[in-house]
Amino acid sequence: MHTVIHAVLPLFALILAGYAAGRRGLLGRNATDILNDFVVWMALPALLFQAMAQISWEEIRQPGYIAGSALAMALIFGASYLADRREGRRLADASITSMASAYGNSGYMGIPLCIMVLGEASLPAVIIATLLTACILFAFSIVLVELDLQRSTTMRATLRKVGASLIRNPLVCAPLAGLVVSGVGWTLPNPVVQFTSLLGAAASPCALVTVGLFLSQGRSTQNRGTVWRIVSLKLLIHPLLAFVLVTWVFDMPPMWASAAVLIAALPVGTGPFMVAKLYDRAPAVTSEATLLSTVLSVITVSLLVGWITPASP
């Protein structure tokens, strides 16, 4: 539990700092929107661009791990999506809720946790999980949201509006630009790396402070069942599903299998809240799911670490 507390405590402290600042009015009335815009338009795009631009395809060539992690994520997304649609929620809301159910805090919490539990060799596994989460799942969810919100009289007009909106969306353009840089074999100049590193490093802490600021406004959700469903899927069902897939379906080294299960068990990251706040689609649900899953992960992830550690090489 000591290892997990060390990884979780800074996350909870940042949310608490944002909450305290919001309650005391230290950052002004519009701080939540301004800080959220900073993350969405500047910090997070820089982080996603650098992650994709510096990716080493040889280092992360683990098809079994990629397939197992991606399939577990897709199945969790699908289960949440079907539950939401059955309850009558529109596509945009169901997409964000489903995104939260599968979106782990792999970057900010996963990196230190995996290194402490599995060693430096697990870093490529975390990088893959972060790319799957922050780029592919993120972009896919935004496309679904845009398909709903930009709906027109004809499918062609809808697709045109969605395409125009996605082109202007930095959370989609940034990782695609990074992928182009990596694909053509360009090396980022050192000043560019320093710039994106400094700016990207602000993404996670600012996002967590924004969650605290939002919670301080007292906008609690009435959809407690949805919050608990997100938390249950993320902390319990996701790692269980990942374990089944990496153990009996896909072949990979033991360390990679352990990393897949550990990363799947991480609490909800801040990405879904950023999207919900950006599109004003019930951000209270994702903010409470982020906070609750982060607190409960001290117990669930600690139990998992205790089970994984003796089995890890």
Domain total in the chain: 1
**Phi and psi torsions of 2, nearest 5°:** -60, -45
Could you tell me the residue range of the domain that residue 90 belongs to?
2-311
pLDDT the model gives residue 151: 64
Rounded Cα distance between 98 and 232, Å, is 12
pLDDT the model gives residue 156: 75
Report which secondary-structure segment, H or E, holds 3.
helix 2-24
pLDDT the model gives residue 246: 93
Please count the other Cβ atoms lying within 10 Å of the Cβ belonging to residue 229: 21
pTM of the model: 0.79
pLDDT the model gives residue 118: 84
Residue 265 three-state SS: coil
Please report, as a single letter, which amino acid is at residue 204: S
Radius of gyration of the CA atoms of the chain, in A: 19
From first to last of its 313 residues, the chain has per-residue pLDDT tens of: 666 677 667 877 888 899 899 989 898 888 888 998 898 899 888 987 887 788 776 766 789 999 999 999 999 999 999 999 999 999 999 999 999 999 998 866 777 688 778 887 787 788 788 878 877 898 889 889 888 887 666 667 767 776 777 777 787 788 888 888 888 888 899 999 999 999 988 887 888 888 788 778 766 666 789 999 999 999 999 999 999 999 999 998 899 999 999 999 999 988 898 889 888 887 889 988 988 898 898 889 888 888 876 554 5
pLDDT the model gives residue 1: 60
Please report, as a single letter, which amino acid is at residue 149: L
CATH number at 45 reads: 1.20.1530.20
Please report, as a single letter, which amino acid is at residue 6: H
Please count the other Cβ atoms lying within 10 Å of the Cβ belonging to residue 230: 29
| DSSP assignment of 170-217 | HHHHHHHHHHHHHHTT----HHHHHHHHHHHTTHHHHHHHHHHHHHHT
**Phi and psi torsions of 268, nearest 5°:** -60, 130
**What CA dihedral angle connects 231, 234, 3 and 287, to 10 degrees?**
-50
